[in-house]
Structure 1
Amino acid sequence: MFIRNHPEGLYFNGRIGKLVDKVDEFLKVEFNDGSNSIIVEREEWKNTTFKVDEKTKEILQEDIGSFLQYPVRLAWAVTVHKSQGLTFDKLQLDLENSFAAGQLYVALSRCRSLEGLKLLSKIRPDNIIVDKRILDYHHSINEEYNFEEDLKVAKEKYQKHLLKASFNFHKYLDYIKSWQSFVVEKQDDYAMEILTFIKGIKTVFQNTVKTGEKFQWQLESLFEENSKAIIKDRVDKAIRYFSDEINAKVLLPIESHIEEYRVKKGTRKYLNQTRTFGDECWHLMEKIYNISFQGEKVFTGIKKYKPDNSSAIKKKYEKGDTYKQTLELFEQGKTIEEIACLRFLSKGTIESHMLKHLKNGAVDINKLMPNARYQKIRKFALKNPNKSVSELVHDIDISIDYIEARWVKATLQLEKESD
């Protein structure tokens, strides 16, 4: 009979076999169930103790001895005590002289089924020995404790724990970290402006995490008041706040971001990562909407749902959508910096959008820079029509940006075409 489990499952504690051969230090064992014979070698047993390190308070393991032994013993018979932890398909029991509490239970529970169990002696009432200390303990529990009341208190405590945990958003910062790492490792042409976008999303979630922590502390105070109506009202308002924040400052910007980058080469894998994060945020929205307290749903408002992408896939994507959004914000009086912040895009991206709108006459250059500055650059550009953007920037007697030079050249080209 094997007395331990093999790491690869060749044998297990309690398996019965037949020793048929021994070659050098190896035993050959066959089984009656028709499975293949196996080769058995000595196994190491260790005598291990544990102690606490006084300085670090860590639990340390120390091996104080070991021995090698074949993991088998003769299986003609085994005492009840030695059978603990073993399991048998067939078993003959002689329990007539059982003498210790629990001995009968241990013996009967060694067999897998009643069909494999055979009793060699009659079991008498005096063989069923119960430890008096166990009985006394159970009697004292029944007398001292009201289990129904304890269960009620435990349920309420657990429900409060779940409610607080619903406003723990820390793991989404880990998702963002993975998102950032993907972009840094890929290092494509758009890495810097993409990282600027992700940084904006991260800032939103950092604020969300802090607000969530504050609300968890508020819940602790509300629990002490023990007013279910007040708790539900505050949680309902919190759900509205967090869902609106995530939708307006995370999900909608991500949707616009995906639209902008779908037409750019080499962004497919990145967009898959972005969609994965977006899906996690939609799952968070659904989780927030479904918050319940004491078996009742809390949210009473109108849910926001993830857009159906199937129709978006069928509909041809219009490349100009992202430029239109920038133009609309600009016409509302927003500055380039404000638009970049609202759309989680880099300032350079918004400036390039403006270049497009200058070329088609949708934006007046005097709204992008002071007229005096524009006139000076314009005058220099007209005197030097063959100079490139780079030459204009380096040769003019004032400090200007490349984008300003491009804006002026685009305006001059539009005037020329109009003439």
Structure 2
Amino acid sequence: MPTLVNEKLQLAHDFVLHTNRNVFLTGKAGTGKTTFLHQVKNTSSKRLAVVAPTGVAAINAGGVTIHSLFQLPFGPLVPGALNRETRKFTREKINLLRTLDLLIVDEISMVRADVLDGIDAVLRRFRYRPEPFGGVQLLLIGDMQQLPPVIRDEDWALLRPYYDTGYFFGSRALQKTPYISLELDHIYRQADQRFIEILNSVREKRITRAQLDDLNQRFIPNFTPQDDEGYITLTTHNQAALQLNSQKLQSLTTQLHTFEATIEGDFPAHAYPTEASLELKVGAQVMFNKNDASREKLFYNGKIGQITDIDDDVIYVKCPHDPDTLTVSPMEWVNIRYTLDPQTNEIKEEPIGKFVQYPLKLAWAITIHKSQGLTFEKAIIDAASAFAHGQVYVALSRCKTLEGLVLREPIPSHSIKTELLLEEFHEQVQQQTPDDQELWHSKQLNQEQLLLDLFSFERTHYLINRCRRTGAEHAGSLDEGLEPALNQFNAVFQEKVRDVTERFRQQLPRYFAGDLLAEENQPLQERVRKAGVYFKDLIRNELQPMLASVPTETDNKQVREALHESLDELEKELFIKLHCFEATLDGFEALVYQKTRNHAELEFQSIRKQASRKSDEGRSGHEKPRTLYDALAKWRQDLAGELDTVAHTILPRKTLAELARSKPSTLDELLKIKGFGKVKARMIGEDVLTIIRSFLENESATKASSAPEKPNKTPSPALSLALFRQGKTVTDIAQERNIAASTVEGHLAQFISSGQLSVYELVPAEKVETIRTYLEKHTPKTLTEAKAGLGDGVTFAEIRMVYNSMLAGTAQTD
């Protein structure tokens, strides 16, 4: 089996793992493409999914079909048609697609251009990104000289106005994104150089007359092998293969045994790896269609043998050149779907169906199409009537040696079909082959793009404006404080985020100009670490609390849902940014950043929704209303339930707010409240006045009963912390509490020791690093000694705070 010591395989692996370049991996039959696919699955840290055009190909690749993952309709996909599709994606599938890093498409030669564009449309739709395929990296694996996509004439009539070709490289989305091509040329299946040269000439449609004559010497008229020789016939048409297998089986005089597969869950018939009802006899020639999973590896997919005996639950098969007879028991194939693990949020393969059957099928004959990917010691090729491009090559390349190959008929030159378009594409592939230098530049470009992505707040800006538009459009039914709150949030964002990041993004090209990767560029890394501290503190301590306090109350359910949706998206974007900046506090690493961004996308839970649920739970119980507004709102909700109506028809929310503010005590005062007419005053006026009086009386009683007792005094340090959390400076707190600023600093230093405050909230990052480095290097015994060593640039309070943070272990992690 090939390993990554192959230079081109190693180059392909590096491009897939360390860059965001799309990769087309091609190569002759037997060069290790499928093995490479499984190596990428097992070694890549990127979040990936594997798809294939058919059910059988998907099962063999350990993935799912293209149509099932992307919920594409069958038939031609005219550009733009998917925008009119109403197929509903589950939230889990949307999250999976939004956090996908790498999409592997196996057997790409069989994928139509419009299907690839369908994948592009779905990914851009759910990832909110305009780039081709929503920014997902593609690994396309296949050989264009093998089997082509199936396109019916009536389908092509619909697609022709939009595509020059139905092959995958005709995809409009793929043509908008550069991709590199790597052609594997080391053949593992064949070792005979003479046979390899013939196969290459057939594949590239440049076979000479001498080579064709050499190949046709394997035509043996009336060739009839013995049953124990292990020859399999490869034919172009399915009916011919079925007929030959049936005739051979019927000619045996031994007892017929029928084995029914056990099928559980979701396993569609088109993906069955062998017959669901398998008919076999002693003496039948069979082929294994699954690799032996045991340590001994006694058989592989495509190995030919003859049944020597059949017991109740074991079939005995003798293969040519094997000293021992193999005992064969039923094996299991699994149909999977991709899901998100609820604990780890990793993409996992969830079994949804199982097919259990003996890993055998009759093997006197098989179609060339179904033989793709298999290897045979001995084969009879019946390809004189080849009707599709690549059929002759696929058939011939299944054989390990020229001597093990027999032709049913001589192969005429016209059956080796060629397409000028494929020849031109193959020339382009040769020109797109990258080298180590391009790999290095692609790594650099990928890391730079991820850093630009980290410091891009354009989506945040868009979401803020969306919230403001929603508020402006429905101002009449929303809290009056919404607009000024959003305007204040936007002003802080513009000043402290957008202007800062714009200046930083302008500086990045200067850092990128060197000959180092971003991960190796220490000045850039230091700049990113400092920016990480700044943005982490800004988002956590200022932007998130401001957003959480935005008033959203309204009686209009549709308006409330629209506003909450916009605010939740904005909250989510800040949440993702916060986690990404926290991941850069120890420096920037591309894979760590991608993983952090994806996990944050999946881990987000709206604080607003959590608070709303807690509020609903409180209202549903017997919790005493804390404010007059709460008391009026509870009364309104209860009355609406009794009358089987919506709450705002009893009294609008703004009227409740005005009642709570003005606290009317008579009907005349009540009538002055906007929204309270004579009819409502007559119907519910006394109820409202009773609630107001009752609440005020209870409030007075509570104050009176608590007056004789001295209230519990908030501990002095805790009060300083509370005022600091309100956004007040040390000087402000000292003035308000009439205590010394040094006392306030001492209070706050205590909370750095306990980990409740980050040292970076009080001391600039540059000073933290200076003080920490000095303390670690010189280990002074007193603050006075440390102050003398550090000089006038720092204060005793700053030294104490950094020292406390080191004791708490937070100086390097916050």
TM-score, length basis structure 1: 0.41
Ranked by relative contact order (alpha carbons within 8 Å, sequence separation 6 or more), the top structure is 2
TM-score, length basis structure 2: 0.23
* Bigger radius of gyration among the two: 1
